[in-house]
A and B are shown apart, each in its own frame.
Chain A
Amino acid sequence: MEEKFINLTLKVWRQKQGEKKGKIETYQAKNISTDASFLEMLDIVNDDLTIKGIEPIAFDHDCREGICGMCGQVVNGYAHGEEKGTTLCQLHMRRFKDGDTVFIEPFRAKAFKVVKDLVVDRSAFDKIIQAGGYITAKAGGAPDANIFPVTYETCELAMNAAECIGCGACVAACPNASAMLFVSAKISHLALLPQGRPEAAKRALGMVRAMDACGFGNCSNERECEASCPKNISITNIARMNREFLSAGVCSTAM
């Protein structure tokens, strides 16, 4: 597509640190290249605000290539914007038209408090992983890597789940602010691999408990999480998590 330059009206959520309420402010984004990324568009707007003496819009970002999971905003009602399988940093301005009005808000959930403007606190995800999202292994005692064969298909399934970047879009998109897609991706990734089996029951129970304690909602099969996931994580992982959780609760001594 040929490079063009467009003008947009931005409606951006501004919220000062420590304040419970924020409000929408209106800014103009002028002369934006359609080859620029969405975050680069915000950089240009922020430079403009700085020159005018207005504090720039705070937003999280780091790798800007769709893998670190740090960025994320709700753009026109969609987590990471409307384009499928895309993080916000991968969204490009060629998806917008000259004269568009664009609403930009933070990921909203009870468990994700707003820090400032578009920045939210997602440390609840870390707490869930700390409750079992790992395999216990000391550095030094591992057997040869080829000792457990894993079928090609199983490895692919585990990898599909392991691709989760922990951005929180699934939570922001869910009407219940459920974290089930995130939690199930980690449970699936490890449960599918032979080296993850010894702790599978303990892991499922621990992570689900932590998820509830952090204030995330329940799953009511809306499938919004899957639709918004930039890594196309499948909700079949939620089914697998439910099986792991059930069998852990019924069969296991790992309570």
Chain B
Amino acid sequence: MQLNSNVPSGPLETKWDRYKFDLKKVNPANKRKFEIIVVGTGLAGGSAAATLADLGYHVKNFCIQDSPRRAHSIAAQGGINAAKNYPGDGDSVQNLFYDTIKGGDYRAREANVYRLAQNANNIIDHCVATGVPFAREYGGLHANRSFGGAQVSRTFYARGQTGQQLLLGVYGQLSRQIGLGGVEMYPRRDILDVVIVDGCARGVICRNLVTGEIESHSAHAVVLATGGYDNVYFLSTSGMHSNVSACWAAYKKGAAFANPCYTQIHPTCITVHGDYQSKLTLMSESLRNDGRIWVPKKAGDNRSPDQIPEDERDYYLERKYPSFGNLVPRDVASRNAKLACDEGRGVGNTGLAVYLDFSDAIKRDGEDVIRAKYGNLFQMYDKIQDEDPYKVPMKIYPAIHYVMGGTWVDYNLMTTRDGLFCLGGANFSDHGANRLGASALMQGLSDGYFVLPYTIGGYLATQSLADVNTSHQAFKDAEKQLNEKLNKLMNINGKRTVDDIHKELGHYMWEYCGMARNDAGLKEAIQKISALREEFWQNVNVTGTSKDFNQTLEKGYRLADYLEFGELLARDALTRTESCGGHFREESQTEENEAKRDDENFCHVAAWEYAGEGKDPILNKEPLVFENVKLTQRSYK
């Protein structure tokens, strides 16, 4: 497999402008002749669908939920970064670029990250123009706050529900295009295969979740914006329907999967309780602006927090990282929480929690100010934990929150399969081995509003695509194959429920591919996942029929893909024997327990290629070239 990143040469600052100039354009009258399938209606998919339709393309847009307004981008809380420098604290595109590259532990492409930093300011302008009510100062101008891994305030926010407001902005733009007829909307659909004709992606096969019908849809290009694969861990902060199935189908049709072992464990989530728990809830990183993280100095100190005097508390992030304090990047904060708990200094019933304490901020600013900034987050916490965080410190622990890995894409956001593009959280491109807070929203909107609409034109203008519709044999074959798979699943009639098996998979993933990974554990994980996959196909119980609204079947085929994908994740983690960002190999750490990279052997993107059923996947490497930043050991001290 050839991995050509298609990054243009020349100075970093002008790459994207020159590239846009060089891209072939499709004239407005011809755009009408092209059909584009966009899968997903989150920030990336929704913005891409709306913008492509606004340009004149005919768009078919698909989503799992009953409405495009519910994609999981909606749950993002804290904010979106841009280098507007409104607070006048010395921010610039160069700064945002540098922080993002460094935050990702030097495992992202320079050119992609620089373009992202450049687009960030346009995103803020466009979002405001579409009615996003970002927080304002009393003078009427925009307010900013700080996020991890940065020493400037560059994060725009709408209370603790920035993702919701951004997504509703996108949903508005998308709704306008649906009303005008530019976008045909298909809600409640699962995309289960990508159809390839003459080497190019020309359509998708989906399951209508209401009727259970298998449907074929053809187009001139296919865009996947289906989010991350966090739910391979069963418990994550992702939506319950988030899945890897479309990207996994694409992988089997020639789209390489990059860096699956780069997962993000977010330091501040509400703690785990009970084996019935269905998902985890994040407490936004923005809380670390005002909340202070601490544990008791003494192991086994089980006094209530208000009984522990100041000098017996260890504000370990402030102690170890004086220049970034509580605002170190997520991977660093998570590992330190784990270390504190491993030392027996964790709090709460399970000992798997640390305090996030607002009492100093409330004393300093007053409860009203804190309520205005984080009111909805405090309310969420109270509802779940039944404890008032204005009075008692929050108890938090790291949890799976995001994945940096995803489908490999080049500078055009095209996968290794021609005509198949991948955007937002579903691709691997911009965050390296660790994403900084408030950067996911930025990437989704950058890809959808400001990158794909240009690059897809460049693709369509240079292809001579034959007329293909759904009567083509490739669609018939794909439908038949899918029907066979679903029938097989419906007829196992075993003894274990889908959730039961999914929880077991999640347990292996968290245990062996979680915050710390090692050689023996990863090898064991691969064996256990493989055995569990066999058991699934012998012993799962899917009730009902396939031609009906059947949520058990939905969960079943998504889990079938996770049982294959989980093994690839573990294999990638096993192969990458260095530590970097969120990927922490116990064998590779500094004396101070920080992630130790091995730039000599691992300064590359690992792009895995499907080799066929039952065969080991093939590892391809895209070397990462750094012309503008110097690779150093990350330090936030």
Tell me the A residues contacting B by CB distance below 8 Å: 1, 3, 17, 33, 35-37, 39-40, 43-44, 47, 50-51, 53-56, 58, 60-70, 85-86, 90, 92, 94, 115-116, 119, 121-123, 125-126, 129-131, 133-146, 148-152, 155, 158-159, 162-163, 165-166, 189-190, 193, 195-196
Contact = CB atoms under 8 A, between A and B. Distances in A.
B74 A152 contact: no
Given A64-B279, A136-B176, A146-B86, A70 B136 contact: no
Given A66-B383, A143-B125, A145-B125, 10 more contacts: A47-B499, A51-B497, A62-B241, A63-B239, A65-B282, A70-B66, A146-B86, A148-B128, A155-B133, A159-B158
Contacts of A116: 548-549
27 contacts: A3-B273, A35-B274, A40-B276, A47-B497, A51-B495, A55-B543, A56-B543, A58-B549, A62-B239, A62-B241, A63-B239, A65-B279, A68-B75, A70-B65, A92-B386, A115-B549, A122-B66, A126-B178, A129-B171, A130-B179, A142-B128, A142-B129, A145-B124, A159-B133, A159-B158, A165-B164, A196-B131
Nearest to B141: A146
A218 B134 CA distance: 33
Nearest to B70: A68
Among A115, A129, A141, chain B packs the most CB atoms within 10 A around the CB of: A129
Nearest to B135: A155
Contacts of B133: 150, 155, 158-159, 162, 189, 193
| Residue in A125, A145, A148, A155 with the greatest tally of chain B CB atoms within 10 Å | A145
A44 B137 CA distance: 47
B69 A69 contact: yes
Contact of B161 (A37, A47, A67, A193): A67
Indicate the size class of the contact surface on chain B: 35 or more
Interface in B351-373: none
B383 A90 contact: yes
Contacts of B74: 63, 67-68
Given A17-B548, A62-B65, A130-B176, A92 B128 contact: no
A196 B237 CA distance: 33
B273 A139 contact: no
A92 B137 CA distance: 36
B278 interface: yes
Interface in B162-194: 163-165, 168, 171-173, 175-176, 178-179, 185, 187
B84 A53 contact: no
Nearest to B212: A17
A58 B188 CA distance: 14
Indicate the member of A50, A61, A125, A134 with the most B CB atoms within 10 Å: A134
Given A64-B240, A67-B74, A155-B135, A139 B65 contact: no
Nearest to A158: B133
Nearest to A152: B138
Nearest to B544: A55
Indicate the member of B172, B273, B548, B552 with the most A CB atoms within 10 Å.
B172
Which of A51, A62, A149, A166 has the largest number of chain B CB atoms within 10 A? A62
Contacts, number: 216
A149 B65 contact: no
B106 interface: no
A167 B125 CA distance: 29
B384 interface: yes
Given A145-B124, A145-B128, A134 B173 contact: yes
Contacts of B552: 50, 55-56
A41 to B, nearest CB: 8
Nearest to B71: A68
A249 B51 CA distance: 32
A17 B208 CA distance: 14
A123 B70 CA distance: 12
Contacts of A190: 131
B176 A134 contact: yes
Contact of B126 (A50, A63, A139, A189): A139
Contacts of B75: 63, 65, 67-68
A65 B380 CA distance: 7
Contacts of B281: 64-65
Contacts of A56: 543, 551-552
Contacts of B449: 139
B132 to A, nearest CB: 8
A53 B495 CA distance: 10
B380 A145 contact: no
Nearest to B163: A67
B384 A92 contact: yes
B470 interface: no
Interface in B67-99: 67-70, 72, 74-75, 84, 86
A139 B450 contact: yes
Contacts of B130: 134-135, 137, 195
Contacts of A90: 380, 383-384
Contacts of A158: 133
Contacts of B213: none
Given A43-B499, A62-B241, A125-B67, A162 B179 contact: no
A13 to B, nearest CB: 15
B276 A36 contact: yes
B131 A193 contact: yes
